[in-house]
């Protein structure tokens, strides 16, 4: 039989993608004519349509995703058994990557797919797109001019030693929404760090940036800080160094477990402090706000072979629309742009912005080498099972989340997102750590794409889950907000992208996402830890 259930994404591609499981014997159109499949091909996986010899590049999205490790005939399954990434980690290639060779005026093998120049990737700058008629949502305007999409009270734990007390406080308060209906709840933001760090070192500074970012976040109406008392990450210096205060202008309550006299007394003190803050937080009301007040973070997790075809490009359409309205879309996960960063460089508004991105990529390569790994180690078992073979393939699909707008700024992890437009934040690819940095930077809504299925939540920020295929959406409907798999059945990417944008406005206005309905989102608070534990 002949099957039309494949997708060719670019005329230059050497592979097509199975839209559904293809049985052995199915005939597929290749450059050598119809070829019968010698084995069944799983949904989302690749089939060769052009003969490739050992060492020759293999293209998907019109870009090289790896090289053949043996001869590949038309009709063969293309995956880990015959395709590998070549990250080009030799000295000559590294000199080209880090700037001792070419810089932003002629980016060389930063992706390293085959160890030499991947493609010319000059920073050309982009023209701004004319804005469309403004759209609005209902949000919380704060005194500093920023706008929240939720109205939480938070317990900020400075160290893992105060995590237990923080949870006890939250549990003692229970469901505050019955008495305070305009408050979304009390959340305990705890983590595994705060001590065993170099005082003033990288991890200590990163933790403080994250805690300060959450303290100032427009989705948090008020907060208390709870510490043990003897830890490296002291609460008092955190508040002083970052000039933290409540929206009322007063300093935040600081609870030290040792100073209070132990667990029970610390819990009582923190509960009393939050009880005093709740009436003020409950006075907040949603008002009509322009979409330009939104800072939309994008992230992906559990990607599959469809993610770069459906959910990610559809989200890119929504991001572009938000940017046209004067809002901000943010892309992160630096380990998941390897092999595709040249496409972002081309979109940089200036050579300086392009260089900031390249500097972060160079830092990551040095960081990975110092730990004995290389950039090709990224695709997870779930990615592989879903049809993604190499990091370049994963990256090329992943950056589709960022749409096509000009890249206006590159910021480091948890740094404030100040520019309007498309912004890049340097984060790891691990979802909780990545989103924690994005939220600390000021993102007030998250869109999270997934092909294998993720149950991610991100309090105090709502997280919309976008399924890359309809089978996943139906299988995990309690967790998925939007089915982007309809693109495989004929819906246009633009249509689904506009559907995502409308849902973004609804959620920003208070509609609960599936993860919020399930109560997900506190455990995913995970500040990035890079250095040694002492």
Largest Cα separation within the chain, whole Å, is 80
- % the chain with pLDDT above 90: 85
pLDDT at 422: 98
- Pairing of β 185-189 and β 152-157: parallel
Q: How confident is the model at residue 132 (pLDDT cuts 50, 70, 90)?
A: confident
Q: Does residue 410 form part of some domain?
A: yes
pLDDT of 105 > 70? The answer is: no
Quote the domain boundaries for residue 363. 289-389+402-518
| Residue pair 41/21 in contact by the 8 Å Cβ criterion | yes
Q: Does residue 120 form part of some domain?
A: no
- For the chain, the average pLDDT equals 91
Q: How confident is the model at residue 54 (pLDDT cuts 50, 70, 90)?
A: very high
Q: Mean per-residue pLDDT for 351-356? A: 97
Of 53, 84, 115, the residue at which a domain comes to its end is 84
Q: State pLDDT tens for residues 202-244.
A: 999 999 999 999 999 999 999 999 999 999 999 999 999 999 9
Residues 200 and 298 in one domain: no
Which tokens belong to 338? 């390897």
| Residue pair 485/467 in contact by the 8 Å Cβ criterion | yes
Number of Cβ within 10 Å of residue 116's Cβ equals 13
Residues 168 and 275 in one domain: yes
pLDDT of 14 > 60? The answer is: yes
pLDDT at 123: 57
| Residue pair 114/67 in contact by the 8 Å Cβ criterion | yes
Q: How far apart are CA 47 and CA 15, in angstroms?
A: 5
Q: Does residue 531 form part of some domain?
A: no
Of residues 109 and 474, more confidently modeled: 474
Q: State pLDDT tens for residues 76-87.
A: 999 999 999 876
pLDDT of 128 > 90? The answer is: no
Residue showing tokens 């308060």: 173
pLDDT of 514 > 90? The answer is: yes
- % the chain with pLDDT above 70: 91
pLDDT of 104 > 70? The answer is: no
Q: Mean per-residue pLDDT for 36-61? A: 95
pLDDT at 94: 36
Number of Cβ within 10 Å of residue 523's Cβ equals 12
Residues 378 and 458 in one domain: yes
104-108, 129-133, 265-269, 454-458: least confidently modelled range: 104-108
Of residues 378 and 438, more confidently modeled: 438
Q: How confident is the model at residue 314 (pLDDT cuts 50, 70, 90)?
A: very high
Of 283, 318, 335, the residue at which a domain comes to its end is 283
Q: Does residue 204 form part of some domain?
A: yes
Q: How far apart are CA 114 and CA 92, in angstroms?
A: 13
Residues 308 and 438 in one domain: yes
**Total domains present in the chain:** 3
Q: How confident is the model at residue 96 (pLDDT cuts 50, 70, 90)?
A: very low
Q: Which residues of 189-199 are buried (b: 16+ CB within 10 A; e: fewer)?
A: bbbebbbebee
CATH code assigned at 184: 3.40.1400
Residues 358 and 426 in one domain: yes
Residues 299 and 278 in one domain: no
Nearest to 86 by CA among 430, 375, 323: 375
DSSP-derived secondary structure letter, 193: -
Residues 264 and 211 in one domain: yes
Residues 277 and 157 in one domain: yes
pLDDT at 115: 31
Q: Mean per-residue pLDDT for 281-293? A: 98
pTM strictly above 0.85: yes
Q: How confident is the model at residue 125 (pLDDT cuts 50, 70, 90)?
A: low
Q: State pLDDT tens for residues 381-424.
A: 888 888 888 989 999 999 999 999 999 999 999 999 999 999 99
Residues 434 and 319 in one domain: yes
Residues 385 and 442 in one domain: yes
Q: Does residue 487 form part of some domain?
A: yes
Q: Mean per-residue pLDDT for 479-494? A: 96
Label residue 273 exposed, middle or buried (CB < 10 Å: 0-12, 13-18, 19+): buried
Residues 498 and 478 in one domain: yes
Q: Does residue 141 form part of some domain?
A: no
Q: State pLDDT tens for residues 233-249.
A: 999 999 999 999 997 78
Of 283, 314, 338, the residue at which a domain comes to its end is 283
pLDDT of 287 > 50? The answer is: yes
pLDDT at 130: 60
Q: Does residue 338 form part of some domain?
A: yes
Q: How confident is the model at residue 65 (pLDDT cuts 50, 70, 90)?
A: very high
Residues 296 and 198 in one domain: no
Q: State pLDDT tens for residues 470-485.
A: 999 999 999 999 999 9
CATH code assigned at 75: 2.30.130.110
Q: Mean per-residue pLDDT for 85-106? A: 44
Q: Does residue 352 form part of some domain?
A: yes
DSSP-derived secondary structure letter, 162: G
Q: How far apart are CA 426 and CA 411, in angstroms?
A: 6
pLDDT at 376: 77
Q: State pLDDT tens for residues 169-195.
A: 999 999 999 999 999 999 999 999 999
pLDDT of 117 > 50? The answer is: no
DSSP helix/strand/coil, 222: strand
């Amino acid at each position: 039989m002949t099957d039309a259930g494949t997708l060719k994404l670019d005329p230059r591609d050497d592979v097509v993608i199975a839209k559904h499981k293809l049985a052995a014997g199915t005939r597929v159109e290749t450059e050598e004519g119809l070829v019968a499949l010698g084995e069944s091909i799983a949904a989302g996986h690749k089939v060769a349509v052009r003969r490739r010899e050992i060492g020759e590049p293999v293209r998907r999205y019109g870009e090289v995703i790896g090289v053949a490790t043996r001869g590949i005939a038309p009709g063969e399954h293309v995956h880990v058994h015959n395709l590998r990434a070549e990250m080009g980690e030799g000295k000559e290639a590294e000199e080209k990557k880090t700037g001792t060779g070419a810089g932003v005026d002629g980016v060389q093998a930063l992706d390293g797919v085959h160890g030499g120049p991947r493609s010319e990737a000059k920073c050309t700058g982009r023209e701004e797109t004319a804005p469309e008629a403004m759209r609005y949502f209902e949000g919380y305007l704060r005194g500093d001019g920023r706008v929240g999409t939720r109205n939480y009270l938070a317990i900020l734990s400075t160290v893992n030693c105060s995590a237990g007390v923080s949870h006890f406080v939250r549990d003692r308060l229970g469901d505050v929404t019955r008495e305070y209906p305009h408050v979304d709840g009390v959340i305990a933001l705890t983590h595994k760090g705060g001590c065993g760090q170099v005082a003033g070192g990288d991890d200590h500074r990163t933790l403080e940036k994250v805690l300060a970012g959450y303290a100032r976040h427009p989705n948090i109406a008020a907060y208390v800080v709870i510490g043990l008392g003897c830890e490296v990450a002291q609460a008092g210096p955190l508040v002083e160094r970052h000039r933290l205060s409540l929206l009322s202008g007063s300093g935040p309550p600081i609870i030290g477990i040792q100073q209070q006299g132990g667990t029970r007394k610390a819990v009582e003190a923190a509960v009393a402090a939050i009880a005093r803050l709740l009436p003020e937080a409950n006075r907040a009301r949603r008002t009509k706000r322009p979409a330009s007040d939104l800072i939309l973070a994008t992230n992906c997790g559990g990607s599959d072979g469809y993610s770069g075809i459906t959910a990610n490009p559809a989200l890119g359409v929504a991001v572009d629309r938000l940017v046209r309205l004067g809002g901000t879309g943010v892309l992160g996960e630096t380990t998941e742009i390897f092999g595709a960063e040249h496409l972002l460089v081309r979109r940089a508004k200036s050579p300086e912005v392009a260089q900031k991105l390249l500097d972060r990529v160079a830092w990551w390569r040095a960081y990975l080498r110092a730990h004995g790994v290389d950039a090709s180690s990224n695709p997870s078992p779930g990615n592989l099972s879903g049809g993604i073979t190499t990091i370049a393939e994963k990256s090329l699909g992943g950056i589709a989340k960022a749409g096509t707008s000009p890249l206006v700024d590159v910021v480091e992890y948890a740094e404030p997102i100040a520019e309007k437009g498309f912004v890049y934040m340097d984060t790891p690819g691990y979802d909780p750590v990545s989103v924690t940095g994005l939220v600390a930077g000021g993102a007030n809504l998250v869109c999270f794409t997934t092909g294998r299925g993720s149950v991610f939540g991100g309090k105090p920020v709502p997280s919309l889950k976008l399924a890359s295929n309809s089978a996943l959406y139906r299988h995990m409907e309690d967790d998925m907000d939007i089915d982007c798999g309809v693109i495989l059945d004929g819906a246009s990417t633009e249509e689904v992208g506009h559907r995502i944008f409308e849902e973004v406005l609804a959620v920003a206005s208070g509609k609960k996402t599936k993860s919020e309905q399930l109560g997900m989102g506190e455990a995913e608070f995970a500040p990035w830890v890079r250095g040694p534990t002492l």
